[in-house]
C-alpha cells in the first residue's frame, strides 16, 4: 500500500487488477502477515521508494534472525 499522510492503507494499492501507474518517487510498504495461534498477528513491513531504475529499500533494520 502507499505511504503518506492519510489512512494506514492508502492508495495506490499493489494488488491484482489495479491499473494505477507506479511512478518514480512513490513510496510503498510491502507487509505480509502471519498469525501464530488465532489472535497473535506478525507483520514484517518493508518500505520501498520507486526510482528511475527500479526501487530502493528504505528499511535499515537487519533481517537476520537473532538468537536469544
Domain count, the chain: 1
Q: Is 17 left (phi over 0), alpha (psi -120 to 50) or beta?
A: left
Q: Specify the pLDDT at position 5.
A: 64
Classify residue 5: in a domain, yes or no. yes
Classify residue 22: in a domain, yes or no. yes
| Predicted confidence pLDDT, tens digits, the chain (68 residues) | 667 666 666 777 778 888 888 899 988 888 888 888 888 888 788 889 999 999 999 988 887 877 77
Q: Rounded to the nearest 5 degrees, what angle is found at the Cα of 44, between the Cα atoms of 50 and 51? A: 5
Classify residue 66: in a domain, yes or no. no
Smallest CA-to-CA distance from 54 within 14, 27, 24, 19 is with: 24
Amino acid at each position: 500500500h502507499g505511504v503518506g499522510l492519510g489512512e494506514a492503507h492508502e492508495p495506490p494499492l499493489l494488488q491484482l487488477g489495479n491499473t494505477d501507474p507506479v511512478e518514480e518517487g512513490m513510496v510503498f510498504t510491502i507487509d505480509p502477515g502471519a498469525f501464530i495461534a488465532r489472535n497473535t498477528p506478525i507483520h514484517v513491513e518493508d518500505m520501498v521508494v520507486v526510482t528511475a531504475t527500479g526501487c530502493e529499500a528504505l528499511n535499515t533494520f537487519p533481517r537476520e534472525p537473532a538468537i536469544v
